[in-house]
Amino acid sequence: MQRCAMICVLLAFWNTTMTDAGSPIVIAHRGASGYLPEHSLEAKALAYGQGANFIEQDVVLSKDGIPVVLHDIHVDTVTDVAAVFPQRKREDGRYYAIDFTLAELKQLHLNERINLKTGKRVFPDRFPAGQSSFRIPTLAEEIELIQGLNASTGGTVGIYPEIKQPAWHKQQGQDITPIVLQVLKTHGYTDANDAIYLQCFDPTETRRIREELGCQLKLVQLIGSNSWNEAGVDYDAMRTAEGIKAIAQYADAIGPWMPHIVTGRDSDGKPVITDLVKRAHDEGLVVHPYTFRKDELPKYTKSFDDAMMIFCEDAKIDGLFTDFPDLAVKFLQQN
């Protein structure tokens, strides 16, 4: 009852004026995660009410093979797992979602992300610690929430799932991708015209999704930084002309990190924009960079709106991930 009541309150924010058809799309990064704990159903309901065009789902597997929505393969940075299951950590001291059944994961409370080294919240001014109650959703539960809201409001909000660390899941004995594709198919996502983008950082897996598994959904090749060691991939090479051409053979879009598009300002104060967006557009790819945050702005920007202006007007991106969907929607409506 508490969750239903909260969702009803959040939907009071519903804004019927969406962004214009020709504007960049607004992708709610882990939901409206600037306001509520990331990937909670409540954060997704709020993102829907704030006018996001798509809502993101990061997907990992539970021990019993159920796709759940969490940004990481670990659960210790966003839940109270250490208090609930203190003996279940691995030798590295971390707690992994794949070591817990869905029933066990459902016992955990979601909280604002913390830095394990300092024990402090990553974004201290976001939703207060210890207030209200939030739980880990399954991918199916989240899809059903969004589809239900589309039915009850007449909306057309899409989903934007990411398959997290598929190679690591295979090392643990689970092949995550076919499981996720089956959940998507069960809920009606099978075609390129469906309101979904499916993303992954691992290009081997993204290509496999298209060529081996025969997926016809819109695919997004995420592009990270080599320093992250995300998928054993040379992301610098991926951003070259040859790399973009290779991506265009199997994907429909790229999801680059913001610094891959704008590197700063020159001596005259003008934004320094790389040719990545142009390269992608020349190959027929759309570009959805991540992540626009009002509490973590690039140093060369003065405000959230300033960042939006640079990327949308100067760099000409096609969409963006943001923790603050309302701010992006408001900017696009006014510009």
Q: Which residues are catalytic?
A: 29, 71
Q: With H, G, I as helix, E, B as strand and everything else as coil, classify residue 263.
A: strand
Paired tokens of 81: 């797992």
Q: Tokens 């794949």 — which residue?
A: 98
3-class SS letters over 287-322: ECCECECCCCCCCCCCCHHHHHHHHHHHCCCCEEEE
83, exposed or middle or buried, with CB in 10 Å at 0-12, 13-18, 19+?
exposed
Q: With H, G, I as helix, E, B as strand and everything else as coil, classify residue 96.
A: strand
DSSP string, 161-212: EEE--HHHHHHTT--HHHHHHHHHHHTT--STTSSBEEEES-HHHHHHHHHT
What is residue 277's DSSP assignment?
A: H
Between β-strands 271-273 and 262-265, what pairing exists: parallel, antiparallel or unpaired? antiparallel
Q: Tokens 């053979």 — which residue?
A: 249
CA angle at residue 286 from 148 to 153, to 5 degrees? 15
> What one-letter code names the amino acid at 10?
L
